[in-house]
Structure 1
């Protein structure tokens, strides 16, 4: 009896143990996004490339400005510093050979740029700076020192100026403004008089370029992420959800609730999921049919064995009470007959229940059916199994070879001959014909008995069918012979059925149709 399983427990049983396909599909779709997110490292490379280009530009600018200031009059130097600072958004400072500040463009004219105050900026700028810091930490970018105006106005307050004076060539230093943007200080010697020029640039455009590129990348990642999620959910709806429906149905069938479950066939789907659904549905139908057959077979077995057991029990219980020796002998004879009947039933039932399994494991070999039938008829004649009936064999041609298990095919022919002999009149004939018909090998066994009514032709293949001739003693047949024969035929890819005699004469005609071999 099947256990009662709640829908919640059934759902849990249908869940995969190794992670759902939805999660796996989403994970696989996210892999390209992770690769796309690796573009952050490219952005760091892009930022460093921009800085390097700006370093080169700053070196050239400082050297050109130093060359222009060299040898110029004081008034001309101040005018050039104001002009260059205004046009290039630079701050220019000139130090004399003693290291003292000689001129400052921000003192000579209004400043050409001002550092942004992060405290006064809106929240979006704060978020952008936080993102800059997070990405720098992620990619391992070095953090430049903060730009601080020294209290001293001397040249030794700037390390880059000190190096330029000592080494005699241009020096560059990268610093960070209060708002996190890069500040490029460039120190260059001015002529041979010992003067040094210091230029300062706030390269906010580099930060803005990197932020724009990062914003575009993040937008692309966001769009790709949404598309990936939508596609994953679409796949889950079109592939995974139908699979889950099939899993729930299969679990319900496995737990003994197959009568309550309608396995979805998904006829509208022409893909592999639809093929799988229809295969599972057909498999479930076959399983139900087999279960019904087994239950019916078990009930028939119980019924068939119960009758001889009841007769045997009655005979044994009556023996102690009967004093008449003749009557006691009859009771013993009845008991012995019932034991033989039970033994025959058990043997046939055992054979019927294991035929499919045995044939599925057996190795099929080429069998010449015409020759096999001839040998079988000769052997029956020698043992007197034909009970005075004549068996007339006709083999049409020599292409009567089939693939199968010889012993099982002999069992089919023996059962058909036994059945025909049982219904044939004393001294009558049984005609057996084996012939090739196209790609099939057809064997017919015909008798001259009462025949089988059209509406009873399928009943003779039903297990425990017991419509026997009146002259035959009760209990000599189990009623499984033709059922076993049909099972063997179907296991060989063939069929066994009742047909009309080809000559129109009265009598039964059973036909064995098997696939032939060239």
Structure 2
């Protein structure tokens, strides 16, 4: 069996959670997953910001310790100048506190405007939008929210955690705060012996850097999202829409509207959907042909049964009125013949109607066709052949084997032999030959009868097509023999046809081609 024809495992085709979801949402969901992976860049930006902040905190702690060391080594008269110099270099606000928390020096009071926090109420909508986006993304990524930065009065320096920690000369502590405009504020403190130096820096550059990267990532994400939606719509149009058309057509076929349905073949598509469309179209056409053939067969059966039934009814009605013994015997003979004809018709009709299904389930075995024909001819000669007709059988030596069902193949050759004997004139000769041609087994049956006209060589294989010789009694054949023979041969992967005799003499020549099987 071709692997493509093998039935797929139901377990391989079952879907668990997505079985009730149409293809369009599934396609969109797959693309959304890709977008979510891209959106993971926001988590990277949060970790990037955290690393920068950690670096700035460590830097602020080192700078506070260095400034404290410089102040310790500088006379008190030079402290203000030194603080202003460091304020210019670092961009931070510097303050000195006494051990009791009193403010003793402040670069802002000296004229430096470093670390001046911006009032968000005085900024434009662009900054409001940026802060809103910051808050939304921080919420999504679960970023830690620093405490709000609030100034302490000059004599309350110990309210700063960094200042309190710096009372221990061995500690230089730094902290991160959140300005009203959501920018980070970094503070650090270190002891210089007679007091504590306290630095404050508004790290706006960190927020600006992260916002720029977030904006770029947002633009990329928006573009990718738009492309993803367009791609999903494209896939839905090229995959889901044709499948829905095919499904609707299949439903209409199932509802019995096969003649009205035109299943789209999608000839321009060379993908699996195109293959499916053409397969469904071919299947629909085959189903339509099968329905037409079934209806025609039913009509032919009705017609063929009505004739003998009408004859039987007429004869039976005549029996009730006829008293002449000879005439009654004649009517009874008509009834008997018609009953036999009906029996043959019903038997052949039953076999013809079941033949396709039986052949599809049949188990083929090696059959020696030449030996089979020998056996049929011996039985025929034992019963006697009428009108002095002779039968010759010419066969190649050795076994002529084909894979098939023996009883069905016997029916084929028995029908062909009966047909040849029926059309043969008195003292004629029927020639049967069997041999090989390429990879096929070829059997021919020739008679010396009237032959088959060229325009009827196909119609003789139709059901109930019955052209009988004049010498044969009416009703002895049902007209299904050659139709049954063709069905059997084609079910075995072969072919049967009518040809002119090779010697161009008068008569018919039926040729059967069957695939050769392996010899024992």
Q: TM-score, normalised by structure 2?
A: 0.92
1:62 and 2:71 aligned: no
Aligned in 2, Cα 1:376/1:167: closer, same or farther, shift over 3 Å? farther
| 1:145 counterpart SS class | coil
Q: CA offsets per residue over residues 324-358 of structure 1, 9 Å max, x none?
A: 33333332322222222111111100101111111
Aligned in 2, Cα 1:210/1:29: closer, same or farther, shift over 3 Å? same
| CA deviation after TM superposition for structure 1 residue 385, in Å | 5.9
Q: CA offsets per residue over residues 346-397 of structure 1, 9 Å max, x none?
A: 1100101111111111111111211111111112222336664221111023
| Equivalent residue number for residue 457 of structure 1 | 457
| Equivalent residue number for residue 15 of structure 2 | none
What CA distance in whole angstroms lies between the structure 2 residues aligned with 1:28 and 1:386? 79
Q: Is the contact made by 1:399 and 1:436 (CA closer than 8 Å) also made in structure 2?
A: no
What CA distance in whole angstroms lies between the structure 2 residues aligned with 1:489 and 1:218? 70
What CA distance in whole angstroms lies between the structure 1 residues aligned with 2:499 and 2:291? 30
| 1:259 counterpart SS class | coil
Aligned in 2, Cα 1:482/1:98: closer, same or farther, shift over 3 Å? closer
Q: Is the contact made by 1:380 and 1:386 (CA closer than 8 Å) also made in structure 2?
A: no
Q: Is the contact made by 1:387 and 1:421 (CA closer than 8 Å) also made in structure 2?
A: no
What CA distance in whole angstroms lies between the structure 2 residues aligned with 1:312 and 1:369? 41
What CA distance in whole angstroms lies between the structure 2 residues aligned with 1:511 and 1:315? 42
| CA deviation after TM superposition for structure 1 residue 105, in Å | 0.8
| Equivalent residue number for residue 40 of structure 1 | 42
| CA deviation after TM superposition for structure 1 residue 313, in Å | 1.9
What CA distance in whole angstroms lies between the structure 2 residues aligned with 1:301 and 1:418? 23
| CA deviation after TM superposition for structure 1 residue 203, in Å | 0.9
What CA distance in whole angstroms lies between the structure 2 residues aligned with 1:178 and 1:463? 95
Aligned in 2, Cα 1:188/1:17: closer, same or farther, shift over 3 Å? closer
What CA distance in whole angstroms lies between the structure 2 residues aligned with 1:247 and 1:386? 60
| 2:121 counterpart SS class | coil
Structure 2, gaps ≥5 residues long = 1-17
| Equivalent residue number for residue 80 of structure 1 | 82
What CA distance in whole angstroms lies between the structure 1 residues aligned with 2:99 and 2:504? 137
| Equivalent residue number for residue 160 of structure 1 | 162
Aligned in 2, Cα 1:133/1:167: closer, same or farther, shift over 3 Å? farther
1:402 and 2:378 aligned: no
What CA distance in whole angstroms lies between the structure 2 residues aligned with 1:311 and 1:34? 83
User: Which 4+ stretches in 1 moved above 6 angstroms?
Assistant: none
What CA distance in whole angstroms lies between the structure 2 residues aligned with 1:347 and 1:325? 33
1:27 and 2:20 aligned: no
More divergent stretch after superposition (435-444 vs 71-80): 71-80
Aligned length: 501
| Equivalent residue number for residue 180 of structure 2 | 178
What CA distance in whole angstroms lies between the structure 1 residues aligned with 2:248 and 2:354? 32
| Equivalent residue number for residue 197 of structure 2 | 197
What CA distance in whole angstroms lies between the structure 2 residues aligned with 1:348 and 1:385? 24
Counterparts of 1:113-512 in structure 2, within 5 Å, are 113-151=115-153, 153-166=155-168, 168-190=170-192, 192-193=193-194, 195-384=195-384, 388-398=388-398, 400-512=400-512
Q: CA offsets per residue over residues 99-139 of structure 1, 9 Å max, x none?
A: 32111111111422321111111122112212222222222
| 2:263 counterpart SS class | coil
What CA distance in whole angstroms lies between the structure 2 residues aligned with 1:489 and 1:44? 76
| CA deviation after TM superposition for structure 1 residue 207, in Å | 1.3
Q: Is the contact made by 1:155 and 1:161 (CA closer than 8 Å) also made in structure 2?
A: yes
| CA deviation after TM superposition for structure 1 residue 152, in Å | 5.1
| CA deviation after TM superposition for structure 1 residue 183, in Å | 1.0
What CA distance in whole angstroms lies between the structure 2 residues aligned with 1:136 and 1:167? 36
| Equivalent residue number for residue 105 of structure 2 | 103
What CA distance in whole angstroms lies between the structure 1 residues aligned with 2:442 and 2:284? 33
Q: CA offsets per residue over residues 147-184 of structure 1, 9 Å max, x none?
A: 11123523222122111104631011211111111111
| 1:402 counterpart SS class | strand
Q: Is the contact made by 1:495 and 1:512 (CA closer than 8 Å) also made in structure 2?
A: yes
Structure 1, gaps ≥5 residues long = 1-15
What CA distance in whole angstroms lies between the structure 2 residues aligned with 1:371 and 1:381? 15
| Aligned alpha-carbon RMSD (Å) | 1.9
What CA distance in whole angstroms lies between the structure 2 residues aligned with 1:281 and 1:27? 32
| CA deviation after TM superposition for structure 1 residue 234, in Å | 2.5
Aligned in 2, Cα 1:386/1:109: closer, same or farther, shift over 3 Å? farther
| Equivalent residue number for residue 90 of structure 1 | 92
| 1:498 counterpart SS class | strand
More divergent stretch after superposition (197-206 vs 455-464): 455-464
Q: Is the contact made by 1:499 and 1:510 (CA closer than 8 Å) also made in structure 2?
A: yes
More divergent stretch after superposition (262-271 vs 488-497): 262-271
Q: TM-score, normalised by structure 1?
A: 0.92
